[in-house]
């Protein structure tokens, strides 16, 4: 490739609204161009990197046995209504109408469409397991689009969806994807960490995020350098944290509140000040003796911070909100969490961690609770009682570096990270909602066990640059650099020798399949070098009359402090 045939557009200064280094450098190097908030043109130089990232992902996905297809960006609302996400998802979901006033959405992911494909196409257990993926444009109307491609509204994601016959097989599919993700991020040359992540309303311990370590990351991760413990700090805010057991003997009273179901109702009825935290959801379960008396009450506190859980709350699914709380029935809990209320332990973590609730909640007293029974409520619940012993406790959200790790294997460290990938076991959430079944050996219909697996293709560019840059610009790993080698001839337009040597080297490298760029723009050396250093090409070869006379060219790696002379005859070998 020659520069004159390509498109290069660099800037000395980044626009003032670019806050972090990757955003600045991508704008300056001409990789992206802003069109609107969170919406970018991918310019030719940037698109080359995107295509290389995609190629690596595609290779590893195919190697792992996933099958590529392509699902539409614009999707009929009907499918999204089947799962309830059309209403539940809130303003992040972009809804549009066609000329017939029919509703559509611009896909933020594709669970509904892929499940629709599966229920039509995967009829027998013999066709399973199957994993479909695509690399496609996504739209999320993010509240705060920022940092360029890092949190765009329109962006590219690879999303894969696995369909299995049972939980064990789904676990294998998950493990396969987890391994494929490690292979992808290794090849991308990223320094990353896989951490336990929020499983939202799905539950289970199978959700991991792949976090690229970077100071500017929006996520915080806690991990233990001497064990395998690693979690998104958000996790502690979003999964059911703890059970605090409150015995009736400690002042809990079951109070009849006929016809009233929210805490607000009850508080008003009893003329109690209502203390609440918007992000909390409380469940209470009870045990009774044969005579029907309550012998034990367990109050479960769930802090719901994850999008999934909050949306459940907003949809009034688990709690009839309107400022107050209603408690889920046992059936509701079972349906949404796939486990009995009594087992609502800290899900989402490999090893159970006891975490004390939010301090403000922990200090609440005389809380009003539901009783899993119509027309009754508990009053006098006191969160401050019966807290676990301090050595059993690890408050992850308030975790400090040096605190003991919840697995007891060492101490915690904290880093900031950028979420570039996410693997998630879905269970039968979507297959049940959409009645997606296959026939088992006995000819009986069974719901698919599903998993979903996302990689933020365009976000990876930002993450890679955050990790690898210097004062001169980007330093791409070879695997995703827009060009691997740049040839910078000095006097290409003046010297026949330089032109001939540069063209020959270019042709040879190209013939060998090396991604080579020859800068034939006739720029001054300083400007030419500055451009390619900004763009971040890993290898540079400079040809000049003076060098050629003594049979040498100058080679400089992007991280090298100075150039080295290499014999013309050895350049090719040197670049291998």
Q: Which residue is nearest to Mg ion (CB)?
A: 422
Instruction: Select from 173, 172, 216, 217 the least CA-distant residue to 195.
Output: 217
Minimum CB distance to ligand ATP, residue 444 (Å): 33
Select 85 or 422, whichever has its Cβ closest to Mg ion: 422
Select 454 or 538, whichever has its Cβ closest to ligand ATP: 454
Question: What strands, in cross-sheet order, belong to the sheet with 94-97?
Answer: 74-76, 103-106, 94-97
Say if CB 576 and CB 539 are below 8 A apart.
Answer: no
536 binds, among Mg ion, ligand ATP, none (CB under 5 to 8 A by kind): none
421 binds, among Mg ion, ligand ATP, none (CB under 5 to 8 A by kind): ligand ATP
Select 46 or 421, whichever has its Cβ closest to ligand ATP: 421
240 binds, among Mg ion, ligand ATP, none (CB under 5 to 8 A by kind): none
Q: Torsion angle, CA of 121/127/129/134, rounded to 10 degrees? A: -40
Select 111 or 531, whichever has its Cβ closest to ligand ATP: 111
Give the DSSP per-residue string, 179-234: HHHHHHHHHTT--EEEEE---TTT-SS-EEEEEEE-TT-SEEEEE-TTSS-EEETT
Minimum CB distance to ligand ATP, residue 476 (Å): 19
Minimum CB distance to ligand ATP, residue 96 (Å): 18
Minimum CB distance to Mg ion, residue 55 (Å): 23
151 binds, among Mg ion, ligand ATP, none (CB under 5 to 8 A by kind): ligand ATP
Query: Residues interacting with ligand ATP, by CB under 6 A?
Result: 140, 142, 151-152, 155, 157, 419-422, 454, 456, 458-459
For 359-397, the three-class secondary structure string (H helix, E strand, C coil) is: HHHHCCCCEEEECCCCCEEEEEECCCCCCCCHHHCCCCC
456 binds, among Mg ion, ligand ATP, none (CB under 5 to 8 A by kind): ligand ATP
Instruction: Select from 419, 58, 415, 488 the least CA-distant residue to 223.
Output: 415
Select 347 or 368, whichever has its Cβ closest to ligand ATP: 347
Residue 242, classed as helix, strand or coil, is strand
Counting residues that bind Mg ion (by CB under 5 A) gives 2
Select 260 or 459, whichever has its Cβ closest to ligand ATP: 459
Select 422 or 459, whichever has its Cβ closest to Mg ion: 422
111 binds, among Mg ion, ligand ATP, none (CB under 5 to 8 A by kind): none
Q: Tell me which residues in 422-451 interact with Mg ion (CB under 5 A).
A: 422
380 binds, among Mg ion, ligand ATP, none (CB under 5 to 8 A by kind): none
152 binds, among Mg ion, ligand ATP, none (CB under 5 to 8 A by kind): ligand ATP
Instruction: Select from 205, 238, 233 the least CA-distant residue to 219.
Output: 233
Minimum CB distance to ligand ATP, residue 57 (Å): 12
Q: Which residue is nearest to ligand ATP (CB)?
A: 456
| Helices 21-28 and 457-467, packing angle to 10 deg | 100
459 binds, among Mg ion, ligand ATP, none (CB under 5 to 8 A by kind): ligand ATP
Q: Considering Cα of 266, then 270, then 276, then 280, what sign does the dihedral take?
A: negative
Select 198 or 520, whichever has its Cβ closest to ligand ATP: 198
Q: Which helix (H) or strand (E) holds 269?
A: helix 263-270
Over the range 522-551, which residues count as b (16 or more CB within 10 Å of their CB) and which as e? Answer: ebeeeebbbbbbbbbbbbbbbbbeebbeee
Residue with tokens 């060998």, as numbered in its chain: 512
Minimum CB distance to ligand ATP, residue 375 (Å): 40
Select 264 or 419, whichever has its Cβ closest to Mg ion: 419
297 binds, among Mg ion, ligand ATP, none (CB under 5 to 8 A by kind): none
d(CA 332, CA 351): 25
Classify burial at 64, counting beta carbons within 10 Å of its beta carbon; exposed 0-12, middle 13-18, buried 19 or more.
buried
Minimum CB distance to ligand ATP, residue 459 (Å): 4
Minimum CB distance to Mg ion, residue 159 (Å): 11
Question: DSSP state, 442?
Answer: T
Instruction: Select from 278, 291, 366, 370 the least CA-distant residue to 330.
Output: 370
d(CA 500, CA 519): 14
**Does 153 interact with Mg ion (rule: CB under 5 A)?**
no
Q: Tell me which residues in 389-428 interact with Mg ion (CB under 5 A).
A: 419, 422
Select 459 or 540, whichever has its Cβ closest to ligand ATP: 459
Select 212 or 368, whichever has its Cβ closest to ligand ATP: 212
Minimum CB distance to Mg ion, residue 234 (Å): 7
Give the DSSP per-residue string, 61-94: HHHTT-EE----SEEEHHHHHHTTHHHHTGGGSE
Minimum CB distance to ligand ATP, residue 178 (Å): 14
Minimum CB distance to Mg ion, residue 361 (Å): 24
- Residues binding Mg ion (CB under 5 A): 419, 422
């Amino acid at each position: 490739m020659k520069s004159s045939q390509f498109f290069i557009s660099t800037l000395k200064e980044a626009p003032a609204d670019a806050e972090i280094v990757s955003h600045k450098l991508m704008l300056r190097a001409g990789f992206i161009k802003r069109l609107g908030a969170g919406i970018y043109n991918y310019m030719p130089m940037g698109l080359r990197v995107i295509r290389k990232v995609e190629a690596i992902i595609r290779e590893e996905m195919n190697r792992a046995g996933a099958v590529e297809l392509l699902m539409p960006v614009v999707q009929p609302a009907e499918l999204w209504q089947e799962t309830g996400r059309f209403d539940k998802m809130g303003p992040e979901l972009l809804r549009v109408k066609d000329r017939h006033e029919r509703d559509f959405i611009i896909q933020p992911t594709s669970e509904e469409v892929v499940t629709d494909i599966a229920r039509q196409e995967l009829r027998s257990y013999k066709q399973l397991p199957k994993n479909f993926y695509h690399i496609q444009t996504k739209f999320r109307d993010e509240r705060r689009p920022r940092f360029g491609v890092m949190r765009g509204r329109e962006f590219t994601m690879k999303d894969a969806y696995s369909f299995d016959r049972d939980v064990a097989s789904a676990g294998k599919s998950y493990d396969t994807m987890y391994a494929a993700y490690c292979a992808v991020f290794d090849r991308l040359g990223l320094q990353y960490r896989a951490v336990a992540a929020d499983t939202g309303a799905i539950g289970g311990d199978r959700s991991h995020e792949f976090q690229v370590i970077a100071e500017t990351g929006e996520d915080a991760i806690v991990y233990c350098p001497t064990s395998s413990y690693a979690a998104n700090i958000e996790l502690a805010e979003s999964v059911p944290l703890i059970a605090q057991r409150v015995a009736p003997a400690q002042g809990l009273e079951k109070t009849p509140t006929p016809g009233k179901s929210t805490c607000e109702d009850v508080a008003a009825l009893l003329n109690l000040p209502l203390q609440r935290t918007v992000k909390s959801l409380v469940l209470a379960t009870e045990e009774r003796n044969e005579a029907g008396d309550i012998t034990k009450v367990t109050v479960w506190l769930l802090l719901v911070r994850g999008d999934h859980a909050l949306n459940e709350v907003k949809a009034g699914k688990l709690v009839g909100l309107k400022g107050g709380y209603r408690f889920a029935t046992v059936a509701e809990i079972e349906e949404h969490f796939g486990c009995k209320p009594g087992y609502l332990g800290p899900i989402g973590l490999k090893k159970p961690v006891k975490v004390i609730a939010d301090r403000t909640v922990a200090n609440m007293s005389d809380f009003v609770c539901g009783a899993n029974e119509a027309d009754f409520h508990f009053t006098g619940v006191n969160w401050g009682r019966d807290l676990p012993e301090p050595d059993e406790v690890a408050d992850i959200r308030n975790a400090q570096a040096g605190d003991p790790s919840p697995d007891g294997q060492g101490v915690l460290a904290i880093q900031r990270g950028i979420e570039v990938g996410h693997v998630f076991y879905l269970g039968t959430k979507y297959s049940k909602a959409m009645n997606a079944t296959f026939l088992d050996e006995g000819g009986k219909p069974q719901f698919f066990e599903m998993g979903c697996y996302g990689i933020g293709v365009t976000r990876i560019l930002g993450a890679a640059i955050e990790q690898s840059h210097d004062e001169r610009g980007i330093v791409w790993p070879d695997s995703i650099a827009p060009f691997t080698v740049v040839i910078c001839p000095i006097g290409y337009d003046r010297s026949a020798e330089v032109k001939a040597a540069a063209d020959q080297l270019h042709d040879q490298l190209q013939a060998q399949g090396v991604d080579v760029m020859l800068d034939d723009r006739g720029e001054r050396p300083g400007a030419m070098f500055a451009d390619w250093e900004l763009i971040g090409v890993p290898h540079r070869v400079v040809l000049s009359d003076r060098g050629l006379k003594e049979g040498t060219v100058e080679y400089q790696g992007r991280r090298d402090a100075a150039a080295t002379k290499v014999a013309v005859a050895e350049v090719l070998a040197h670049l291998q």
